[in-house]
Amino acid sequence: MSTTPRNRPSAYAIVGWLLAAAVLVGLAVLVALNASSVWNSFFPPEAKSVQGQAIRNLYDIVFAIAVVIFLIVEGLIVWTVIRYRRKPGDDELPPQTHGNNLAEVTWTLIPTAIVIFMFVISLQTLNSVDATSAHPNLKVRAVAGQFQWSFDYLPETATATDTTKPLFTVNVPVGPDGGLVLPAGQTTHLFLRSPDVIHAFYVPQFLFKRDVVPHLVGEADNEFDLDIPAGDAGQTYRGQCAELCGIGHRVMLFEVHILAPADFAAWQQKQIAAANATPPPAPSGAAAGPTIPLVAKNVKFDQASLTAPAAGFTIHYDNQDVGTPHDFVILDNTGAKVYGSPVVTGPKTADFAVPAIPAGTYKFECSIHPTSMFGTLTVQ
User: Which of residues 128 and 271 has its CB atom nearest to another protein in the complex?
Assistant: 128
Q: Is 156 in the site for another protein (CB under 8 A)?
A: no
Q: Is 31 in the site for another protein (CB under 8 A)?
A: no
Among 104, 133, 266, 359, binds another protein (CB under 8 A): 104
DSSP class of residue 207 equals T
Q: Is 380 in the site for another protein (CB under 8 A)?
A: no
Residue type, 13: A
User: Which of residues 31 and 265 has its CB atom nearest to another protein in the complex?
Assistant: 31
Q: How far is CA 182 from the centre of its chain?
A: 18
Q: Is 154 in the site for another protein (CB under 8 A)?
A: no
Rounded to an integer, what distance in angstroms lies between the CA atom of residue 377 and that of residue 340?
14
Q: Is 99 in the site for another protein (CB under 8 A)?
A: yes
Which residues from 305-364 bind another protein, rule CB under 8 A? none
Q: Is 39 in the site for another protein (CB under 8 A)?
A: no
Rounded to an integer, what distance in angstroms lies between the CA atom of residue 172 and that of residue 195?
17
Which residues from 188-247 bind another protein, rule CB under 8 A? 196-198, 200, 202, 204, 207-211, 213-216, 222, 238, 240-247
Q: Is 75 in the site for another protein (CB under 8 A)?
A: no
User: Which of residues 300 and 309 has its CB atom nearest to another protein in the complex?
Assistant: 300
User: Which of residues 28 and 265 has its CB atom nearest to another protein in the complex?
Assistant: 28
Residue type, 19: L
Rounded to an integer, what distance in angstroms lies between the CA atom of residue 344 and that of residue 218?
23
The two most distant CA atoms of the chain are separated, in Å, by 105
Stretch that binds another protein, among 42-50, 308-316, 327-335, 349-357 (CB under 8 A): 42-50
Rounded to an integer, what distance in angstroms lies between the CA atom of residue 70 and that of residue 77?
10
Q: Is 102 in the site for another protein (CB under 8 A)?
A: no
**Phi/psi at 201 (nearest 5 deg)?**
-85, 115
Q: Is 33 in the site for another protein (CB under 8 A)?
A: no
Q: Is 301 in the site for another protein (CB under 8 A)?
A: no
> Minimum CB separation from another protein for residue 41, in Å?
4
User: Which of residues 213 and 311 has its CB atom nearest to another protein in the complex?
Assistant: 213
Q: Is 125 in the site for another protein (CB under 8 A)?
A: yes
Rounded to an integer, what distance in angstroms lies between the CA atom of residue 284 and that of residue 19?
74
Q: Is 175 in the site for another protein (CB under 8 A)?
A: no
Q: Is 157 in the site for another protein (CB under 8 A)?
A: no
List Cα–Cα distances, 73 to 49, 68, 70, 77, 261, in angstroms: 36, 9, 5, 6, 51
User: Which of residues 222 and 314 has its CB atom nearest to another protein in the complex?
Assistant: 222
Which residues from 244-263 bind another protein, rule CB under 8 A? 244-250
> Minimum CB separation from another protein for residue 8, in Å?
7
Omega of the bond prior to 261 within 30 degrees of 0, cis? no
Stretch that binds another protein, among 132-140, 269-277, 334-342, 367-375 (CB under 8 A): 367-375
Q: How far is CA 78 from the centre of its chain?
A: 41
- Residues ≥6 apart with Cβ < 8 Å to 288: 311, 312, 313, 314, 353, 354, 355
| 183, 137 Cβ separation under 8 angstroms | yes
User: Which of residues 82 and 336 has its CB atom nearest to another protein in the complex?
Assistant: 82
**Which burial class, exposed, middle or buried, applies to 100 when counting CB atoms under 10 A from its CB (0-12, 13-18, 19+)?**
exposed
CA angle 113, 119, 124 (to 5 degrees): 130
Counting residues that bind another protein (by CB under 8 A) gives: 108
